[in-house]
Chain A
Amino acid sequence: MSSDTELKVREIIAEQAVLDVDEVKPESTPEELGLDSLSMVEIVFAIEEAFDITVPFNANEPNASDFDISNVAAIVKAVEALRAAEA
Protein backbone atom coordinates (compact mmCIF):
# COMPACT_ATOMS: atom_id res chain seq x y z
CA MET A 1 0.00 0.00 0.00
CA SER A 2 1.50 3.25 -1.06
CA SER A 3 0.86 6.53 0.71
CA ASP A 4 2.44 9.96 0.91
CA THR A 5 3.79 8.99 4.31
CA GLU A 6 5.35 5.84 2.97
CA LEU A 7 7.00 7.61 0.08
CA LYS A 8 8.42 10.36 2.29
CA VAL A 9 9.75 7.85 4.85
CA ARG A 10 11.36 5.81 2.11
CA GLU A 11 12.92 8.96 0.64
CA ILE A 12 14.38 9.87 4.03
CA ILE A 13 15.77 6.38 4.54
CA ALA A 14 17.10 6.24 0.99
CA GLU A 15 18.94 9.53 1.41
CA GLN A 16 20.57 8.33 4.62
CA ALA A 17 21.45 4.93 3.16
CA VAL A 18 22.71 6.56 -0.07
CA LEU A 19 20.38 4.32 -2.10
CA ASP A 20 17.73 4.79 -4.72
CA VAL A 21 14.21 5.05 -3.30
CA ASP A 22 13.26 1.92 -5.27
CA GLU A 23 15.89 -0.04 -3.37
CA VAL A 24 14.22 0.77 -0.06
CA LYS A 25 11.54 -1.92 0.08
CA PRO A 26 8.86 -2.40 2.75
CA GLU A 27 10.55 -5.56 3.99
CA SER A 28 14.08 -4.04 4.07
CA THR A 29 15.66 -4.04 7.52
CA PRO A 30 18.08 -1.35 8.77
CA GLU A 31 20.89 -3.91 8.67
CA GLU A 32 20.16 -4.80 5.04
CA LEU A 33 20.22 -1.11 4.13
CA GLY A 34 23.56 -0.63 5.88
CA LEU A 35 22.15 1.72 8.51
CA ASP A 36 24.01 1.84 11.82
CA SER A 37 22.69 3.29 15.08
CA LEU A 38 23.87 6.82 14.27
CA SER A 39 22.15 6.64 10.90
CA MET A 40 18.93 5.61 12.63
CA VAL A 41 19.21 8.64 14.92
CA GLU A 42 19.55 10.87 11.86
CA ILE A 43 16.55 9.18 10.20
CA VAL A 44 14.43 9.71 13.30
CA PHE A 45 15.50 13.37 13.32
CA ALA A 46 14.61 13.78 9.64
CA ILE A 47 11.22 12.08 10.19
CA GLU A 48 10.44 14.41 13.09
CA GLU A 49 11.35 17.40 10.94
CA ALA A 50 9.41 16.21 7.89
CA PHE A 51 6.15 15.36 9.70
CA ASP A 52 6.45 17.70 12.67
CA ILE A 53 6.00 14.87 15.12
CA THR A 54 7.93 13.65 18.15
CA VAL A 55 9.21 10.11 17.79
CA PRO A 56 9.64 8.06 20.98
CA PHE A 57 12.95 6.49 19.99
CA ASN A 58 15.70 5.69 22.47
CA ALA A 59 19.00 4.79 20.85
CA ASN A 60 20.00 2.92 24.01
CA GLU A 61 17.22 0.41 23.41
CA PRO A 62 16.24 0.80 19.76
CA ASN A 63 14.16 -2.39 19.76
CA ALA A 64 12.44 -1.77 23.09
CA SER A 65 10.76 1.54 22.30
CA ASP A 66 7.23 1.91 20.97
CA PHE A 67 8.67 3.05 17.68
CA ASP A 68 9.19 -0.16 15.71
CA ILE A 69 12.21 0.02 13.39
CA SER A 70 12.46 -3.66 12.52
CA ASN A 71 11.86 -2.91 8.84
CA VAL A 72 10.72 -0.12 6.54
CA ALA A 73 7.05 -1.12 6.65
CA ALA A 74 7.13 -1.05 10.46
CA ILE A 75 8.67 2.41 10.47
CA VAL A 76 6.02 3.68 8.03
CA LYS A 77 3.26 2.17 10.17
CA ALA A 78 4.69 3.75 13.31
CA VAL A 79 4.93 7.16 11.63
CA GLU A 80 1.34 6.89 10.39
CA ALA A 81 0.20 6.05 13.92
CA LEU A 82 2.05 9.04 15.35
CA ARG A 83 0.59 11.35 12.71
CA ALA A 84 -2.90 10.07 13.44
CA ALA A 85 -2.37 10.54 17.17
CA GLU A 86 -1.23 14.13 16.74
CA ALA A 87 -3.85 15.03 14.14
Chain B
Amino acid sequence: MRRVAVTGVGVVSALGVGRKAHFDGLREGRCGIGELEFRDVERLSVTIGGQAKDFKSEDHFGRSQIALLDRFTQMALIAGKEAVEDSGIEIDEALGLRSAVVIGSGMGGLGTLDEGYRTVFEEGKNRVHPFVVPRSMSNAAASQLSMAYGIKGPAWSVSTACSSSNHAIGQAFHLVRSGLSDAAITGGAESMLCFGGVKCWEGLRVMSKDGCRPFCKTRNGMVQGEGAAILVLEEMESAKARGAHIWGEIAGVGMTSDAGDIVQPDPDGASRAIRSALKDAGLAPEQIGYVNAHGTATAANDRSECTALKDAFGDHAYKLMVSSTKSMHGHGIGAAGALESLAVLLALTEGVIPPTIGYQEPDPDCDLDVVPNVARDAKIDAAISNSFAFGGLNAVLAFKKV
Protein backbone atom coordinates (compact mmCIF):
# COMPACT_ATOMS: atom_id res chain seq x y z
CA MET B 1 0.00 0.00 0.00
CA ARG B 2 1.15 3.54 -0.74
CA ARG B 3 2.32 5.54 2.25
CA VAL B 4 1.65 9.23 2.86
CA ALA B 5 4.28 11.77 3.92
CA VAL B 6 3.76 15.24 5.33
CA THR B 7 6.31 17.34 3.45
CA GLY B 8 5.13 20.87 4.16
CA VAL B 9 3.59 22.75 7.06
CA GLY B 10 2.22 26.26 7.41
CA VAL B 11 0.22 27.99 10.12
CA VAL B 12 -1.50 31.13 11.37
CA SER B 13 -2.73 31.07 14.97
CA ALA B 14 -3.03 33.03 18.18
CA LEU B 15 0.57 32.01 18.82
CA GLY B 16 1.70 33.92 15.74
CA VAL B 17 2.02 33.91 11.99
CA GLY B 18 4.18 31.09 10.67
CA ARG B 19 5.72 27.87 11.94
CA LYS B 20 8.45 29.44 13.99
CA ALA B 21 6.12 31.56 16.11
CA HIS B 22 3.62 28.73 16.52
CA PHE B 23 6.23 26.10 17.42
CA ASP B 24 8.06 28.48 19.76
CA GLY B 25 4.73 29.11 21.50
CA LEU B 26 4.05 25.39 21.89
CA ARG B 27 7.57 24.77 23.23
CA GLU B 28 7.39 27.67 25.67
CA GLY B 29 3.87 26.86 26.80
CA ARG B 30 2.87 30.38 25.84
CA CYS B 31 -0.76 31.44 26.14
CA GLY B 32 -2.12 33.15 23.04
CA ILE B 33 -5.51 33.73 24.62
CA GLY B 34 -6.35 37.30 25.52
CA GLU B 35 -8.95 40.02 25.42
CA LEU B 36 -10.93 40.02 22.18
CA GLU B 37 -10.64 43.09 20.00
CA PHE B 38 -13.47 43.83 17.59
CA ARG B 39 -16.54 46.01 17.19
CA ASP B 40 -19.22 45.66 19.91
CA VAL B 41 -17.11 43.32 22.04
CA GLU B 42 -18.46 45.19 25.08
CA ARG B 43 -21.89 43.70 24.37
CA LEU B 44 -20.55 40.17 24.93
CA SER B 45 -20.39 38.36 28.23
CA VAL B 46 -17.43 36.31 26.99
CA THR B 47 -14.61 38.64 26.00
CA ILE B 48 -11.56 36.38 25.73
CA GLY B 49 -10.35 34.34 22.80
CA GLY B 50 -7.38 33.07 20.87
CA GLN B 51 -7.32 35.83 18.28
CA ALA B 52 -4.55 35.74 15.68
CA LYS B 53 -3.66 39.33 16.44
CA ASP B 54 -0.38 39.21 14.52
CA PHE B 55 -2.26 38.39 11.33
CA LYS B 56 -3.12 41.63 9.55
CA SER B 57 -4.76 41.39 6.14
CA GLU B 58 -2.93 44.43 4.79
CA ASP B 59 0.45 42.81 5.45
CA HIS B 60 -0.35 40.09 2.94
CA PHE B 61 -2.99 41.21 0.46
CA GLY B 62 -3.94 44.18 -1.69
CA ARG B 63 -7.30 45.92 -1.48
CA SER B 64 -8.82 44.11 -4.47
CA GLN B 65 -7.75 40.73 -3.04
CA ILE B 66 -9.18 41.53 0.37
CA ALA B 67 -12.50 42.40 -1.30
CA LEU B 68 -12.75 38.76 -2.39
CA LEU B 69 -11.21 36.99 0.63
CA ASP B 70 -12.81 36.48 4.02
CA ARG B 71 -10.34 36.31 6.90
CA PHE B 72 -10.58 32.50 7.07
CA THR B 73 -9.52 32.26 3.43
CA GLN B 74 -6.77 34.83 3.90
CA MET B 75 -5.30 32.78 6.73
CA ALA B 76 -5.62 29.57 4.69
CA LEU B 77 -3.74 31.17 1.79
CA ILE B 78 -0.91 32.44 3.99
CA ALA B 79 -0.58 29.12 5.81
CA GLY B 80 -0.82 27.39 2.43
CA LYS B 81 1.96 29.51 0.99
CA GLU B 82 4.23 28.65 3.89
CA ALA B 83 3.39 24.94 3.58
CA VAL B 84 3.97 24.77 -0.18
CA GLU B 85 7.25 26.66 0.10
CA ASP B 86 8.32 24.46 3.01
CA SER B 87 7.63 21.30 1.03
CA GLY B 88 9.62 22.46 -1.97
CA ILE B 89 7.01 20.78 -4.15
CA GLU B 90 6.77 22.08 -7.71
CA ILE B 91 3.26 21.71 -8.97
CA ASP B 92 3.52 21.70 -12.74
CA GLU B 93 0.64 21.06 -15.15
CA ALA B 94 0.91 17.26 -14.85
CA LEU B 95 1.18 17.19 -11.07
CA GLY B 96 -1.61 19.78 -10.82
CA LEU B 97 -3.94 17.34 -12.53
CA ARG B 98 -2.88 14.62 -10.07
CA SER B 99 -3.20 16.77 -6.93
CA ALA B 100 -6.06 17.54 -4.56
CA VAL B 101 -7.24 20.17 -2.11
CA VAL B 102 -9.37 19.24 0.91
CA ILE B 103 -9.93 21.98 3.51
CA GLY B 104 -12.01 21.92 6.67
CA SER B 105 -13.99 24.83 8.08
CA GLY B 106 -16.87 24.82 10.51
CA MET B 107 -18.50 28.10 9.56
CA GLY B 108 -16.67 29.38 6.47
CA GLY B 109 -16.77 33.15 6.06
CA LEU B 110 -18.91 33.94 9.07
CA GLY B 111 -17.25 37.34 9.50
CA THR B 112 -18.41 38.34 6.03
CA LEU B 113 -21.97 37.27 6.80
CA ASP B 114 -21.81 39.13 10.11
CA GLU B 115 -20.82 42.34 8.32
CA GLY B 116 -23.51 41.86 5.69
CA TYR B 117 -26.25 41.29 8.26
CA ARG B 118 -25.10 44.34 10.18
CA THR B 119 -25.39 46.40 7.01
CA VAL B 120 -28.95 45.36 6.18
CA PHE B 121 -30.38 44.86 9.67
CA GLU B 122 -28.58 47.33 11.92
CA GLU B 123 -27.72 50.07 9.45
CA GLY B 124 -30.94 49.57 7.49
CA LYS B 125 -29.19 49.65 4.15
CA ASN B 126 -30.63 47.78 1.25
CA ARG B 127 -27.52 46.45 -0.40
CA VAL B 128 -24.54 44.44 0.76
CA HIS B 129 -21.06 44.16 -0.65
CA PRO B 130 -21.28 42.36 -4.02
CA PHE B 131 -18.86 39.60 -3.04
CA VAL B 132 -20.57 38.28 0.07
CA VAL B 133 -21.18 34.93 -1.62
CA PRO B 134 -17.69 34.19 -2.98
CA ARG B 135 -16.20 35.44 0.31
CA SER B 136 -18.42 33.57 2.71
CA MET B 137 -18.98 30.21 1.02
CA SER B 138 -17.42 27.35 2.94
CA ASN B 139 -15.41 26.17 -0.06
CA ALA B 140 -13.78 29.58 -0.57
CA ALA B 141 -10.49 28.54 1.05
CA ALA B 142 -10.32 25.27 -0.89
CA SER B 143 -11.08 27.05 -4.15
CA GLN B 144 -8.61 29.88 -3.57
CA LEU B 145 -5.85 27.38 -2.75
CA SER B 146 -6.61 25.38 -5.90
CA MET B 147 -6.39 28.61 -7.92
CA ALA B 148 -3.18 29.73 -6.22
CA TYR B 149 -1.33 26.51 -7.05
CA GLY B 150 -3.02 25.28 -10.25
CA ILE B 151 -4.42 22.21 -8.57
CA LYS B 152 -6.94 20.70 -10.96
CA GLY B 153 -7.74 17.33 -9.37
CA PRO B 154 -10.37 16.72 -6.68
CA ALA B 155 -11.03 19.73 -4.45
CA TRP B 156 -13.67 20.28 -1.82
CA SER B 157 -14.40 21.60 1.63
CA VAL B 158 -15.42 19.64 4.69
CA SER B 159 -17.65 20.98 7.42
CA THR B 160 -18.05 18.84 10.51
CA ALA B 161 -17.77 21.51 13.21
CA CYS B 162 -14.78 20.81 15.48
CA SER B 163 -13.75 17.72 13.48
CA SER B 164 -13.67 19.48 10.10
CA SER B 165 -9.88 19.53 9.83
CA ASN B 166 -9.35 15.94 10.85
CA HIS B 167 -12.03 14.77 8.44
CA ALA B 168 -10.40 16.89 5.71
CA ILE B 169 -6.89 15.62 6.41
CA GLY B 170 -8.24 12.07 6.65
CA GLN B 171 -9.88 12.33 3.25
CA ALA B 172 -6.78 13.89 1.66
CA PHE B 173 -4.76 11.05 3.20
CA HIS B 174 -7.15 8.55 1.59
CA LEU B 175 -6.79 10.24 -1.80
CA VAL B 176 -3.00 9.97 -1.73
CA ARG B 177 -2.85 6.50 -0.19
CA SER B 178 -5.34 5.07 -2.67
CA GLY B 179 -3.49 6.48 -5.65
CA LEU B 180 -6.29 8.78 -6.73
CA SER B 181 -3.94 11.71 -6.13
CA ASP B 182 -0.16 12.01 -5.81
CA ALA B 183 -0.19 15.12 -3.65
CA ALA B 184 -2.70 17.06 -1.60
CA ILE B 185 -2.98 20.41 0.12
CA THR B 186 -5.09 19.89 3.21
CA GLY B 187 -5.90 21.25 6.64
CA GLY B 188 -8.40 23.73 7.95
CA ALA B 189 -9.23 27.37 8.51
CA GLU B 190 -11.65 29.17 10.79
CA SER B 191 -12.34 32.75 11.75
CA MET B 192 -15.48 33.48 13.67
CA LEU B 193 -14.12 35.80 16.31
CA CYS B 194 -16.56 38.56 15.47
CA PHE B 195 -19.57 39.86 17.40
CA GLY B 196 -22.10 37.49 15.84
CA GLY B 197 -19.78 34.49 15.97
CA VAL B 198 -19.04 34.76 19.68
CA LYS B 199 -22.62 35.77 20.49
CA CYS B 200 -23.83 32.45 19.03
CA TRP B 201 -21.42 30.48 21.20
CA GLU B 202 -22.34 32.44 24.33
CA GLY B 203 -25.84 31.09 23.98
CA LEU B 204 -24.68 27.52 24.49
CA ARG B 205 -23.19 28.38 27.90
CA VAL B 206 -20.09 26.30 27.30
CA MET B 207 -17.60 29.15 27.09
CA SER B 208 -15.14 30.14 29.80
CA LYS B 209 -14.85 33.77 30.78
CA ASP B 210 -11.42 33.41 32.33
CA GLY B 211 -9.33 30.84 30.46
CA CYS B 212 -8.95 27.42 28.87
CA ARG B 213 -7.82 24.78 31.41
CA PRO B 214 -8.26 21.35 29.83
CA PHE B 215 -8.39 18.35 32.19
CA CYS B 216 -8.04 20.65 35.20
CA LYS B 217 -10.50 20.33 38.07
CA THR B 218 -11.23 24.06 37.90
CA ARG B 219 -11.94 24.08 34.16
CA ASN B 220 -15.06 25.98 33.23
CA GLY B 221 -15.40 25.86 29.49
CA MET B 222 -13.87 26.31 26.11
CA VAL B 223 -12.21 29.39 24.67
CA GLN B 224 -12.60 30.07 20.99
CA GLY B 225 -9.60 30.55 18.78
CA GLU B 226 -9.06 31.20 15.10
CA GLY B 227 -6.45 30.39 12.52
CA ALA B 228 -5.42 28.09 9.74
CA ALA B 229 -2.98 25.25 9.37
CA ILE B 230 -2.14 23.66 6.05
CA LEU B 231 -0.22 20.46 5.32
CA VAL B 232 1.24 19.25 2.05
CA LEU B 233 0.81 15.49 1.69
CA GLU B 234 2.75 13.45 -0.84
CA GLU B 235 3.17 9.82 -1.71
CA MET B 236 6.10 8.68 0.44
CA GLU B 237 8.41 7.19 -2.21
CA SER B 238 8.12 10.11 -4.60
CA ALA B 239 8.66 12.52 -1.72
CA LYS B 240 11.82 10.64 -0.73
CA ALA B 241 12.96 10.40 -4.34
CA ARG B 242 12.92 14.17 -4.73
CA GLY B 243 14.75 14.59 -1.41
CA ALA B 244 11.90 16.30 0.40
CA HIS B 245 12.12 16.94 4.12
CA ILE B 246 9.54 14.67 5.70
CA TRP B 247 7.87 15.87 8.88
CA GLY B 248 6.17 12.58 9.51
CA GLU B 249 3.85 9.98 8.09
CA ILE B 250 0.09 10.00 8.31
CA ALA B 251 -0.51 6.31 8.81
CA GLY B 252 -4.21 6.03 9.45
CA VAL B 253 -7.52 7.68 10.15
CA GLY B 254 -10.53 6.57 12.15
CA MET B 255 -13.95 8.11 11.70
CA THR B 256 -17.12 7.33 13.65
CA SER B 257 -20.42 8.86 14.61
CA ASP B 258 -22.03 8.72 18.06
CA ALA B 259 -25.54 8.70 16.59
CA GLY B 260 -26.64 9.93 20.01
CA ASP B 261 -26.88 13.55 21.04
CA ILE B 262 -26.34 16.78 19.09
CA VAL B 263 -24.03 18.26 21.75
CA GLN B 264 -23.21 15.69 24.45
CA PRO B 265 -20.19 13.52 23.60
CA ASP B 266 -20.33 9.74 23.91
CA PRO B 267 -17.10 7.97 24.98
CA ASP B 268 -18.06 4.97 22.88
CA GLY B 269 -17.97 6.92 19.62
CA ALA B 270 -14.63 8.47 20.56
CA SER B 271 -13.15 5.16 21.61
CA ARG B 272 -14.25 3.47 18.38
CA ALA B 273 -12.65 6.27 16.36
CA ILE B 274 -9.35 5.86 18.24
CA ARG B 275 -9.35 2.07 17.77
CA SER B 276 -10.24 2.48 14.13
CA ALA B 277 -7.35 4.90 13.55
CA LEU B 278 -4.88 2.55 15.22
CA LYS B 279 -6.12 -0.40 13.19
CA ASP B 280 -5.98 1.58 9.95
CA ALA B 281 -2.40 2.59 10.76
CA GLY B 282 -1.37 -0.92 11.74
CA LEU B 283 -0.28 0.37 15.14
CA ALA B 284 -0.63 -1.44 18.47
CA PRO B 285 -1.87 0.76 21.33
CA GLU B 286 1.50 0.31 23.07
CA GLN B 287 3.30 1.98 20.16
CA ILE B 288 1.56 5.30 20.76
CA GLY B 289 3.55 7.72 22.93
CA TYR B 290 1.55 10.92 22.62
CA VAL B 291 -2.08 11.87 22.23
CA ASN B 292 -2.98 15.36 21.12
CA ALA B 293 -6.32 15.48 22.85
CA HIS B 294 -9.46 17.18 21.69
CA GLY B 295 -9.34 18.62 25.25
CA THR B 296 -11.79 21.49 24.95
CA ALA B 297 -11.90 22.19 28.71
CA THR B 298 -15.64 21.68 28.89
CA ALA B 299 -16.70 19.48 31.78
CA ALA B 300 -18.26 16.90 29.47
CA ASN B 301 -15.61 16.59 26.76
CA ASP B 302 -12.58 16.12 28.96
CA ARG B 303 -14.28 13.52 31.15
CA SER B 304 -15.65 11.66 28.14
CA GLU B 305 -12.34 11.81 26.28
CA CYS B 306 -10.39 10.35 29.21
CA THR B 307 -12.92 7.55 29.49
CA ALA B 308 -12.55 6.87 25.77
CA LEU B 309 -8.73 6.82 26.00
CA LYS B 310 -8.84 4.33 28.87
CA ASP B 311 -11.29 2.19 26.93
CA ALA B 312 -9.24 2.22 23.72
CA PHE B 313 -5.76 1.93 25.29
CA GLY B 314 -6.41 -0.12 28.43
CA ASP B 315 -3.58 0.12 30.95
CA HIS B 316 -1.38 1.84 28.38
CA ALA B 317 -3.58 4.93 28.77
CA TYR B 318 -1.66 5.72 31.96
CA LYS B 319 1.66 5.63 30.08
CA LEU B 320 0.51 8.03 27.37
CA MET B 321 1.33 11.69 27.36
CA VAL B 322 -1.95 13.46 26.64
CA SER B 323 -2.02 17.21 26.09
CA SER B 324 -4.46 19.79 24.80
CA THR B 325 -2.80 22.65 22.94
CA LYS B 326 -6.16 24.44 22.88
CA SER B 327 -4.98 25.80 26.22
CA MET B 328 -2.51 27.90 24.23
CA HIS B 329 -4.15 28.73 20.87
CA GLY B 330 -7.79 28.30 21.83
CA HIS B 331 -10.30 26.07 20.11
CA GLY B 332 -9.78 26.47 16.39
CA ILE B 333 -13.17 24.83 15.66
CA GLY B 334 -12.90 23.85 11.98
CA ALA B 335 -9.15 24.55 12.04
CA ALA B 336 -8.59 22.67 15.31
CA GLY B 337 -7.37 19.32 13.98
CA ALA B 338 -5.02 20.99 11.52
CA LEU B 339 -3.55 23.32 14.15
CA GLU B 340 -3.14 20.36 16.45
CA SER B 341 -1.48 18.17 13.81
CA LEU B 342 1.39 20.64 14.09
CA ALA B 343 1.76 19.81 17.77
CA VAL B 344 2.02 16.14 16.81
CA LEU B 345 4.63 16.84 14.13
CA LEU B 346 6.64 18.90 16.64
CA ALA B 347 6.55 15.97 19.04
CA LEU B 348 7.60 13.48 16.33
CA THR B 349 10.38 15.54 14.78
CA GLU B 350 11.87 17.35 17.76
CA GLY B 351 10.89 15.13 20.66
CA VAL B 352 9.11 18.06 22.34
CA ILE B 353 5.71 17.25 23.82
CA PRO B 354 3.65 20.47 23.99
CA PRO B 355 2.05 21.01 27.39
CA THR B 356 -1.49 21.51 28.64
CA ILE B 357 -1.12 24.96 30.17
CA GLY B 358 -3.36 26.64 32.74
CA TYR B 359 -3.42 23.40 34.71
CA GLN B 360 -4.10 24.07 38.40
CA GLU B 361 -5.61 21.06 40.10
CA PRO B 362 -6.01 17.36 39.24
CA ASP B 363 -9.44 16.05 38.34
CA PRO B 364 -10.03 12.41 39.36
CA ASP B 365 -12.09 11.97 36.20
CA CYS B 366 -9.08 12.99 34.10
CA ASP B 367 -6.30 11.09 35.86
CA LEU B 368 -3.98 10.73 32.86
CA ASP B 369 -0.57 12.32 32.27
CA VAL B 370 -1.71 15.59 30.75
CA VAL B 371 1.81 17.10 30.52
CA PRO B 372 0.80 19.96 32.82
CA ASN B 373 2.05 23.48 32.15
CA VAL B 374 5.57 22.73 30.89
CA ALA B 375 6.67 21.09 27.64
CA ARG B 376 8.51 17.81 28.01
CA ASP B 377 11.39 16.26 26.11
CA ALA B 378 10.45 12.74 25.14
CA LYS B 379 11.22 10.54 22.17
CA ILE B 380 8.12 9.09 20.58
CA ASP B 381 7.59 6.99 17.47
CA ALA B 382 3.85 7.37 16.95
CA ALA B 383 1.01 9.61 18.06
CA ILE B 384 -2.67 10.23 17.51
CA SER B 385 -4.67 13.45 17.29
CA ASN B 386 -8.30 13.48 18.40
CA SER B 387 -11.17 15.62 17.17
CA PHE B 388 -14.70 15.12 18.45
CA ALA B 389 -17.36 17.42 17.03
CA PHE B 390 -20.72 18.66 18.13
CA GLY B 391 -23.17 16.39 16.40
CA GLY B 392 -21.18 13.35 17.56
CA LEU B 393 -18.82 13.22 14.58
CA ASN B 394 -15.41 11.89 15.52
CA ALA B 395 -12.17 11.80 13.52
CA VAL B 396 -8.80 10.60 14.79
CA LEU B 397 -5.54 10.75 12.84
CA ALA B 398 -2.59 8.44 13.48
CA PHE B 399 0.94 9.69 12.78
CA LYS B 400 4.29 7.90 12.65
CA LYS B 401 7.83 9.15 12.82
CA VAL B 402 9.76 8.67 9.57
Contact = CB atoms under 8 A, between A and B. Distances in A.
Interface of A: 16, 18, 38-39, 41-42, 44-45, 48-49
B130 A41 contact: yes
A47 to B, nearest CB: 11
Contacts of B130: 41-42, 44-45
Contacts of B262: none
B127 A49 contact: yes
A45 B68 contact: no
A2 B68 CA distance: 33
Interface in B116-164: 127, 129-131
Given A18-B64, A44-B130, 14 more contacts: A16-B64, A38-B68, A38-B131, A39-B64, A41-B130, A41-B131, A42-B67, A42-B130, A42-B131, A45-B127, A45-B129, A45-B130, A48-B127, A49-B127
16 contacts: A16-B64, A18-B64, A38-B68, A38-B131, A39-B64, A41-B130, A41-B131, A42-B67, A42-B130, A42-B131, A44-B130, A45-B127, A45-B129, A45-B130, A48-B127, A49-B127
Interface in B54-73: 64, 67-68
Interface residues on B, range: under 10
The CB with the most chain A CB atoms within 10 A, among B127, B129, B130, is that of B130
B130 to A, nearest CB: 5
List 6 A-B pairs, minimum CB-CB distance, nearest first: A41-B130, A45-B130, A48-B127, A42-B130, A42-B67, A45-B129
B142 to A, nearest CB: 19
Contacts of B129: 45
Contacts of A42: 67, 130-131
Contacts of B127: 45, 48-49
Nearest to A44: B130
Contacts of A49: 127
B143 to A, nearest CB: 14
The CB with the most chain B CB atoms within 10 A, among A18, A42, A44, A49, is that of A42
Contacts of B131: 38, 41-42
Contacts of A39: 64
Contacts of A45: 127, 129-130
Interface string B214-233: 00000000000000000000
A17 to B, nearest CB: 10
A68 to B, nearest CB: 19
Contacts of B64: 16, 18, 39
A60 to B, nearest CB: 14
A75 B127 CA distance: 20
Nearest to B127: A48
B109 to A, nearest CB: 16
A42 B104 CA distance: 29
Nearest to B125: A49
Contacts of B67: 42
A16 to B, nearest CB: 8
Contacts of A38: 68, 131
A41 B64 CA distance: 12
A18 B64 CA distance: 9
A14 to B, nearest CB: 13
A48 B125 CA distance: 11
A57 B67 CA distance: 20
B268 to A, nearest CB: 49
A54 to B, nearest CB: 8
Nearest to A45: B130
Nearest to B129: A45
A41 B133 CA distance: 13
A42 B132 CA distance: 11
A18 B63 CA distance: 10
Contacts of B68: 38
Nearest to B68: A38
Contacts of A16: 64
A42 B67 CA distance: 9
A54 B130 CA distance: 13
Interface in B1-35: none
Nearest to A55: B127
Nearest to B126: A54
A58 to B, nearest CB: 12
Contacts of A44: 130
B349 to A, nearest CB: 42
The CB with the most chain A CB atoms within 10 A, among B64, B129, B131, is that of B64
